[in-house]
Chain A
Amino acid sequence: MLQVSGLNQLQRLALRFAVISLLFYGLTILEGMIMRAHQINFNMLDADHYFAMMGAHPMVGIFGSSFMLVFGAFYFLVPNLMNKEIYSQRLAELTWILMTAGVGLVWLSGFVFRYAALYTNYWPLPVSGEFSPMALGTFAVGNIIIMTGVFVFCYNIFATIFHRQGEQKPMAPMLASAFGIDGFINIYRRVMRKGVEKEPIMPLPIVAIFRGTVDTVLDALVLGGISVVFLFHAFYSFMGTSLSAGWFDALLYKNIYWWGLDLIADGLVLIYVAGTWYLLATIISGKKLFMQNIARAALLVELIVSWNVWGHHLLSDQSQPMWMKILSGEMVTAFELITMGIAVFVTLMTLWQARPLPMTPALKFLLGGVLGFSLGVPAGIIQADLGMNRILHNTQWVIGAHAHMQLLVGLGMTLYAAVYALFPMLTNDVKLKSNALTNFHFWAHLIGGIGMSAVMGFAGMDGMLRRTVYPGDTTFQSEMIAAAFFGSLIVAAYLAMMYNIISSIGVKGLVEVFVKLPEKMKQRESTAL
């Protein structure tokens, strides 16, 4: 059982993030399954309730679950990898409080006030009077709070990485190393046979974390900025004055919004994931990363690529300039196949060099994560094509074979690999109760995630749209029943993991991560156990 009194501040902090993340993940898959049932024509919900849930689903999943787990892990790893103190423990605590409050408000804006402009928020739908000012205002305030939490995290991470703690290290080489430029210099030296290759200042996972965090800041700027606009409209609407939406060009808005939003999907997620793979591969194998200079350089390329790929979301927008569609939508996007492919190769080769390796939960889930991205990224490249996008855009292919394959299988299993790898470090070597449950978690999540995503992909190829309900239409019912079956495996996997973790840590330990229990209650719990 977990002895909370023996944990240091960083361990406790990371566990707080992890617990909240896993609870939000539970909410996300519960919502997902309710929507799945509705798609089979159970007609459980009114349209406005269904779409309010669909709007909250990715917000809770991305910011409440994935971001929280990533932030918690990075708050723990960055100081440990750099052998430094965290810049500010208070700011770190503030991060999870802000993120939890913000995600909670966004969820409430849908659940109570039926805000349902989805996460795309295409102009002018949010401000067009379709939703009450209270709904829009609550969503905007929630989103602003989330983005404030993101800024606090980024500031704290940047400060931790670059804070020199009284040492007189020059800033420029540190910054160059964090951007991966020394990786390029080493490649140049090797190719041109000029000078000696130097060991980079920053550990590779730190480079990935820093690089991903740059995208996180930019993404928060755009999403936060748009939310301020929404709040402005909501305020005037509340006061009885309806502002015109005509001041903002819908296509320009779409470009700006997708530029920011895509920094999550095609920016920080891929960069953070690559960094996590590299870290796990080196921890599991005990070896140096294979071709680490290339990996460093690829991370910089990925950063530049992530700023220029949003055009693939606008391939079906006929007024979007054709050169932007071809350059950003097709060509730059194709680079993601290359940078992700490099990350896959480097990770697998690093592990391969350390054969034979025991098939630990961390390794198993890491390979699952690699598999997820190997299936999801090419699916995205297919739809980022002028010809294919014409018949795939906004179908279930996009959200299934591409997005859910990457998020549920690729990102999800990578994060679980980190959870299983960090669990002993965060809990002072608490052992998980059941290996069988860990194995069940792996297989049920893998089969469920891939099965559901692939079935959705087939439904998309048959013409089924995303963000659309088909009341009384049974054309896609068989695919939706299969998707629900695989979805229920994901729920079973989650329950098995939660039972395993909670029974290993103990409910008391779980609560004490947040609040100190009175002595009497502790004694009562120990006697009961």
Chain B
Amino acid sequence: MIESSQVMGLMKVVYVIYLLIVFSLMGMYAMKITKTGSEFQKANIFFYGWVGLLVCTGVGVHILTFNKIPWVKWDINRAAINAEREFNITIADYKFKLPEERLLIKKGDMVRFDIASEDHTYGFGVFREDGSMVFQMQVVPGSRNDIVWKFESPGAYSIRSTEYSGPKGSALLVKNVVFVATEKEFARLDKELRQKQDIYKRR
């Protein structure tokens, strides 16, 4: 399955190539426009070809991502998707209220994050340890804000608000709170987590 980090990696390459192509074309144009040359033949045909290319690119991007990026279909069908794990999180007064101290996820499981805001418009983003983004969504008060996601890489992930909610909003970050574990590791960590919760409840 394609991960968001792979999409970003590819996009960096595409962006560099695009920059180079546009610079080269504009550079050549700027040099040639100061010189005499023959008249451009069949400019009209070139024009309609250009418009056709723009239409294909504009529509093609969406067709490509719909077919190749898995989270597009997850998002469109998320109401019908049965997630293996569900986390209900509340944000209020610039703080996350988490259901558990660690959001433990088994690698490959479909997870639903359902986030509610009690005051401002926030964002909810999950980030890797190197700071790159796994995904994000907006968290609007008075609306349902849910997203389904499948994590394929084990490791610790941070959550932070991805929308400006006032000067205090930048501090809305919980580091390494999402933990994605392999199946074997998950069973052990889940047991540990349950035991901790039992002790906490008994106290």
Contact of A391 with B7 in the complex, beta carbons under 8 Å: yes
- Give CA–CA (A43, B134) in the complex, Å: 28
Contact of B58 with A338 in the complex, beta carbons under 8 Å: yes
The answer to whether A482 has its CB under 8 Å from any CB of chain B is: no
Number of interface residues of A (CB under 8 A): 83
Contact of B30 with A375 in the complex, beta carbons under 8 Å: no
Which residues from 87 to 108 on chain B have a C-beta closer than 8 Å to any C-beta of chain A? none
Chain A residue with the shortest CB-CB distance to B43: A349
Contact of B131 with A47 in the complex, beta carbons under 8 Å: no
Within the complex, what minimum Cβ distance (angstroms) separates B78 from chain A? 8
The answer to whether B141 has its CB under 8 Å from any CB of chain A is: yes
Mask of A312-327 contacts with B, CB within 8 angstroms, 1/0: 0010111100100000
- Give CA–CA (A463, B5) in the complex, Å: 10
Known A-B contacts A318-B147, A349-B47, A357-B33; A387 and B66 likewise in contact (beta carbons under 8 Å): yes
- Give CA–CA (A501, B65) in the complex, Å: 49
- Give CA–CA (A318, B35) in the complex, Å: 54
The answer to whether B136 has its CB under 8 Å from any CB of chain A is: yes
Contact of A319 with B143 in the complex, beta carbons under 8 Å: yes
Mask of A383-399 contacts with B, CB within 8 angstroms, 1/0: 00111101101110000
Within the complex, what minimum Cβ distance (angstroms) separates A359 from chain B? 5
Contact of A254 with B140 in the complex, beta carbons under 8 Å: yes
Stretch at the interface among B8-16, B177-185, B186-194: B8-16
- Give CA–CA (A128, B143) in the complex, Å: 18
- Give CA–CA (A405, B18) in the complex, Å: 14
Which residues from 29 to 57 on chain A have a C-beta closer than 8 Å to any C-beta of chain B? 47-48, 50-51
The answer to whether B55 has its CB under 8 Å from any CB of chain A is: yes
Known A-B contacts A116-B167, A122-B120, A371-B22; A358 and B34 likewise in contact (beta carbons under 8 Å): yes
Known A-B contacts A348-B29, A390-B71; A338 and B51 likewise in contact (beta carbons under 8 Å): yes
> Which residues from chain B contact A395 at a C-beta distance below 8 Å?
133
The answer to whether A207 has its CB under 8 Å from any CB of chain B is: no
- Give CA–CA (A382, B12) in the complex, Å: 12
- Give CA–CA (A425, B138) in the complex, Å: 50
Number of interface residues of B (CB under 8 A): 74
Contact of A322 with B163 in the complex, beta carbons under 8 Å: no
Contact of A351 with B140 in the complex, beta carbons under 8 Å: no
Which residues from 448 to 498 on chain A have a C-beta closer than 8 Å to any C-beta of chain B? 454, 457-458, 461-465, 467-471, 473, 475-476
Stretch at the interface among A229-237, A329-337, A517-525: A329-337
Contact of A476 with B119 in the complex, beta carbons under 8 Å: no
Chain B residue with the shortest CB-CB distance to A294: B47
> Which residues from chain B contact A393 at a C-beta distance below 8 Å?
136, 138, 162
Which residues from 108 to 152 on chain B have a C-beta closer than 8 Å to any C-beta of chain A? 119-121, 123, 125, 127-128, 130-138, 140-147
Known A-B contacts A50-B167, A367-B29, A394-B163; A386 and B55 likewise in contact (beta carbons under 8 Å): no
Contact of A316 with B136 in the complex, beta carbons under 8 Å: yes
> Which residues from chain B contact A353 at a C-beta distance below 8 Å?
39-40
Checking B19, B39, B44, B164 against A118 with a beta-carbon cut-off of 8 angstroms, the contacting residue is B164
Chain B residue with the shortest CB-CB distance to A298: B51
The answer to whether A352 has its CB under 8 Å from any CB of chain B is: yes
The answer to whether B72 has its CB under 8 Å from any CB of chain A is: yes
The answer to whether B201 has its CB under 8 Å from any CB of chain A is: no
Contact of A375 with B22 in the complex, beta carbons under 8 Å: yes
- Give CA–CA (A420, B119) in the complex, Å: 50
- Give CA–CA (A181, B81) in the complex, Å: 48
The answer to whether B26 has its CB under 8 Å from any CB of chain A is: yes
Checking A116, A118, A345, A467 against B50 with a beta-carbon cut-off of 8 angstroms, the contacting residue is A345
Mask of A239-262 contacts with B, CB within 8 angstroms, 1/0: 000000000011100100000000
- Give CA–CA (A476, B54) in the complex, Å: 34
Contact of B143 with A130 in the complex, beta carbons under 8 Å: no
Mask of A66-85 contacts with B, CB within 8 angstroms, 1/0: 00000000000000000000
The answer to whether A291 has its CB under 8 Å from any CB of chain B is: yes
Known A-B contacts A357-B33, A371-B22, A394-B163; A317 and B119 likewise in contact (beta carbons under 8 Å): no
- Give CA–CA (A467, B32) in the complex, Å: 42
The answer to whether B59 has its CB under 8 Å from any CB of chain A is: yes
The answer to whether A342 has its CB under 8 Å from any CB of chain B is: yes
Contact of A337 with B144 in the complex, beta carbons under 8 Å: no
Contact of B145 with A318 in the complex, beta carbons under 8 Å: yes
The answer to whether B61 has its CB under 8 Å from any CB of chain A is: yes
- Give CA–CA (A123, B62) in the complex, Å: 30
Chain A residue with the shortest CB-CB distance to B133: A463
Chain A residue with the shortest CB-CB distance to B164: A467
Checking A318, A387, A475 against B131 with a beta-carbon cut-off of 8 angstroms, the contacting residue is A475
Contact of A371 with B131 in the complex, beta carbons under 8 Å: no
> Which residues from chain B contact A381 at a C-beta distance below 8 Å?
57-58, 61
Mask of A125-154 contacts with B, CB within 8 angstroms, 1/0: 100101000000000000000000000000
- Give CA–CA (A393, B58) in the complex, Å: 19
Known A-B contacts A124-B120, A341-B50; A463 and B132 likewise in contact (beta carbons under 8 Å): yes
- Give CA–CA (A317, B141) in the complex, Å: 11
Checking A124, A335, A364 against B141 with a beta-carbon cut-off of 8 angstroms, the contacting residue is A124
Chain B residue with the shortest CB-CB distance to A48: B167
Contact of B51 with A461 in the complex, beta carbons under 8 Å: no
Contact of B130 with A475 in the complex, beta carbons under 8 Å: yes
Checking B4, B43, B141, B170 against A468 with a beta-carbon cut-off of 8 angstroms, the contacting residue is B170
- 20 further contact pairs, Cβ within 8 A, besides A291-B47, A385-B65, A390-B71: A250-B141, A317-B140, A322-B76, A334-B62, A345-B50, A349-B40, A355-B35, A355-B37, A356-B35, A374-B26, A382-B11, A386-B65, A386-B76, A391-B7, A391-B134, A394-B162, A454-B19, A457-B15, A467-B164, A468-B169
Q: What are 9 A-B interface contacts by the 8 Å CB criterion?
A: A317-B145, A318-B146, A355-B35, A359-B34, A363-B33, A385-B62, A390-B75, A390-B135, A454-B19
